[in-house]
Structure 1
Amino acid sequence: MTTPDIAGVAEAIPHHTTPHAAESADAVRLTGVGKTFGRTDDVPVLQGVDLRIAAGEFVCVIGASGCGKSTLLTIIAGLEPASAGEVAVPAGRASLMFQDSALFPWLTAGRNVELALRLRGLPRAQRRTEAEELLALVRLHGAYDKRVHQLSGGMRQRVALARALAQGNRVLLMDEPFAALDAITRDALHGELTRIWRETGIAVLFVTHNVREAVRLGQRVILLSSRPGRIAREWSVDIPQPRRIEDTAVAELAREITADLHREISRHGDDH
């Protein structure tokens, strides 16, 4: 199979050869965003979150369990309304990818990808071709007819990524998508995700508990405070790509971020 034409796969994901360049347009813009579940006097999950993600930018979010990282993604995706503030996704709708691949086991890999293409309104005659090109993009050449039970965990996440890209959106939200994978598979998918991001120029907001993973992938790393979740600090990652998770520069920045994360967790414990 020939190398897929990225622009032909999905017009809404244009080829973008310089995702590191400064962008004037925001892909995502949050202003004073808050979220409270239950009574209005309950402790908010999120409070006063101001965040801008540029078109083509890769941003990672870390924080203690329960600080609102996943809630932040569901609000941006439009699955959950914010209780306060303004949410804007000027780039259009966002795709959301979870830790679980959430593939339909009775469908082949290709048919799982085609579901998103069908929802976009693509005619049947185009869907198979584009599904095969998207599978090729995530290095699953020839996997169209494979059933879910025939795929490894890493392969399933590649199919899930292809399906997310098939939605044709310029913003990809990822909620710990590699957390359940072994270290070798996770490292391979880090490289694949970085390559796909650079080739497509989509904006990525990636939630993780793994600080080294955040430094390995992101242009920026954002630390959410413990409940209520606010942006406590952010770091620019000026380490050139390609990066390896075991690189000295990655490890050094990860240690600095981890120290702040531990201080935040301790502060949260002291408050309670």
Structure 2
Amino acid sequence: MTVTIDEAPSARTLTEAAVRLSGVSKWFGKETDKPVLDGIDLTVAPGEFVCLLGASGCGKSTLLNLVAGLDPVSAGSIEVTGGRAALMFQESALFPWLTAAGNIELALRLRGVGKAQRRSEAERLLSLVRLEGAAHKRAHELSGGMRQRVALARALAQQAEVLLMDEPFAALDAITRDVLHGELTALWQETGVTVLFVTHNVREAARLGQRVILLSSRPGRVAREWQVDIPQPRRIEDAAVSELAREITDELHREITKHARFAQGSATQRSGIKSKETRRDG
């Protein structure tokens, strides 16, 4: 029932998991309440890019929060190699009174990096996310895409073994999102960071992921997974990406339909029980 941390990342082997979830369940309230996640077993290899898909409410964001250690698991265990997982949200969550470089330097300071080194490291990270000229700009002076790049640089400043991304491009326009897809792929290939990426966008998952995991509707369970062998870099309009996206979408529709039928059946059953009780009371 705990998130356990491996304190010896240097000793890991290529076969060792960067993230391992074993029988993870999560419920809010009483143990008898319906769980959000139920018995999740998932292993993410070091340097792997895994996308999580599923209908709204299936527990994708909850799963990321558990891996990040922001919430305790209700049952099961989570192991994160190296002990550090950086979380990126849909909103950039930059401190508006700080510059782009200042936001990154804050993460470096919290990591214990000395003042003299922080500026040069912040500039290096801004360069890595293609924002060389934005060091002195504040959040209101940056576009949505630029703010997300700063947030990504800030996450990388934590030197996390694992990058957790919760729909980081959902609020952006299609063109900006397309550009950031390419840049994230290049950055992932350059740094070798492990990525666990939550999205509602099936094409986004097909474009980015080495593996795509589909969670069932609540309670969230691993319903299906796809190994994606399409070479990178990929384009959103590539035929192979479109074909995979159609296959995943069909499976997602089946999951949503199954859940809707189950919910309708449960509602009908509850209505029948209530009707009997009303007649008996009358």
CA contact (8 A) 2:18 2:194 kept: yes
Q: Secondary structure at the match of 2:18?
A: strand
- For 1:156, the aligned partner's letter is R
Match of 2:183 in 1: 192
Match of 1:266 in 2: 257
Aligned length: 254
* Whole-angstrom distance in 2 between the partners of 1:111 and 1:183: 29
Match of 2:79 in 1: 88
Q: Does 1:155 align with 2:166?
A: no
Unaligned runs of 5+ in 2: 1-8, 264-282
Within a 5 Å distance, the mapping from 1:1-272 to structure 2 comes to 23-272=14-263
Higher relative contact order (CA 8 A, sep 6+): 1
Runs (4+) of structure 1 exceeding 3 A deviation are none
* Whole-angstrom distance in 1 between the partners of 2:252 and 2:192: 30
* Whole-angstrom distance in 2 between the partners of 1:23 and 1:41: 40
* Whole-angstrom distance in 1 between the partners of 2:118 and 2:176: 29
Q: Which has the higher helix share?
A: 2
After TM superposition, the score normalised by the length of structure 2 is 0.88
CA contact (8 A) 2:90 2:171 kept: yes
- CA deviation after TM superposition for structure 1 residue 92, in Å: 2.0
1:65-110 C-alpha deviation (Å, 9 max, x unpaired): 0000000000000000000001100232100000000001111000
CA contact (8 A) 1:55 1:91 kept: no
Unaligned runs of 5+ in 1: 1-12, 15-21
CA contact (8 A) 1:28 1:91 kept: no
Q: Secondary structure at the match of 2:250?
A: helix
* Whole-angstrom distance in 2 between the partners of 1:139 and 1:25: 32
Match of 1:9 in 2: none
- CA deviation after TM superposition for structure 1 residue 142, in Å: 2.0
1:159-192 C-alpha deviation (Å, 9 max, x unpaired): 0000000001110000000000000000000001
CA contact (8 A) 2:27 2:37 kept: yes
- For 1:225, the aligned partner's letter is S
Greater Rg by CA: 2
* Whole-angstrom distance in 2 between the partners of 1:244 and 1:27: 27
* Whole-angstrom distance in 1 between the partners of 2:204 and 2:58: 18
- For 1:261, the aligned partner's letter is L
